[in-house]
Structure 1
Amino acid sequence: MKDNHPAQLDFLLPDTRPEYVQLDTGAVLLPCFALHNAEACMRAIHHIAQQAPFRKMHTPGGGQMSVAMTCCGTFGWVSTLQGYSYTKVNPFTGQPWPDMPAIFQALAHKAAQKAGFAQFQPNACLINSYSPGARMGLHQDRDEGCTDQPVVSLSFGLEATFLWGGLKRSDPTRQILLKDGDVLVWGGPDRLRFHGIKPLRQDTHSRTGETRLNITFRFVAS
């Protein structure tokens, strides 16, 4: 009989991948690194979303993102018809972004340290919610005003195919499967590599249902 819930099976079966995968000079995949803290992170996301609800923001081109987003920390990232920016106030509520939970700070610091970026102290956290069909086009993370610090990205729930490109949009991309609890860290010479997420496949996860949650940490120059 065909199983319609492979993501649930992946959650139950042991993961035989190595604990540390060097993707490039400054880029590391840490399989299952955040898995033991998944439930605590889910509770933290729920609390943040009560204060700053998930929204599908508009892009400068007039379209609407397929990914719903919220933020926490000193700075939050916003996309409007006027462009992309980091703000200290949530423009949708008029309130400061929720504080970054201690579990988030600890995971971001530990992952960055394991990847060779021991001094990372994020002040911005973006939380993306993907439903089936949602995607993230190839882009660079360059709105932070500082490229000396890495990006740390946690994945929970449904699997996703991460596109890892080069320093030019036209460079070839590699496809990297991200599973529940996986963490990606990239910085140094790889900090401005283009990257994205292929459209999420229809599936169900035992913890998050038909959703992938991605928590991304950055340092924004004030």
Structure 2
Amino acid sequence: MREGPDIARIASLVGDPARANMLTALMGGTALTASELALEAGVSLPTASSHLSKLMDGGLLTLVSQGRHRYYGLASAQVAGMIEAIIGVAEAVGPKRVRPGPRDTAMRMARVCYDHLAGEQAVAMLDRLFDKKLLLRDDNQIRLSSSGASHFSALGIEIDANARRPVCRACLDWSVRRSHLAGTLGAAILDKIIADKWARREKDSRAVVFSPKGKAEFERMFLA
């Protein structure tokens, strides 16, 4: 037996179509029940429960009980990053689907990727943060500059430097095929966008839809 991580086991968990649909549904960052995930996967509840048990055993999901309900979520940002990367590969080399409709256009513009912003708006934001030297690249890693820390603090965006997750992390964007910003900073920026009502989550979708005023504020603050 070869030493090292068991890639095949993880690949087999993600590779089943029903389980892949469940994991993709959880990319919106909202915990879902087994019944909701059964609908997403197009399988019966007993079959969904079997799939969820396997994903739990594989360390890809977490489970939280609240009253009579049990909610499933992705185990970590690392798992979410893996799913986003797989979506990108599938988009690049997989079978081509019919021309995307309006919902796909919205998803490409801005969407939730687990707990941070993804899509064209997010990629443009990361580019601009590099241009303004608020974020710096070091050996393919992203770090917050001293001026960046002051800048985000002035905007009311608090960064938890003691969190177990990185403050800044590049996440490959499947629709643009370049990186957007993840980590605690990426999550804090999305929190501000939603809290300030610049944008809303589209129902039953990962799409983030900006209002005209919200789009102008986002561009002034992050793209100017």
Quickly name the TM-score band, shorter chain normalised.
under 0.3
TM-score w.r.t. length of structure 1: 0.27
- TM-score in terms of structure 2 length: 0.26
Report 1 or 2 for greater relative contact order, CA contacts < 8 Å, sequence distance ≥ 6: 1
Bigger proportion of residues as strand: 1
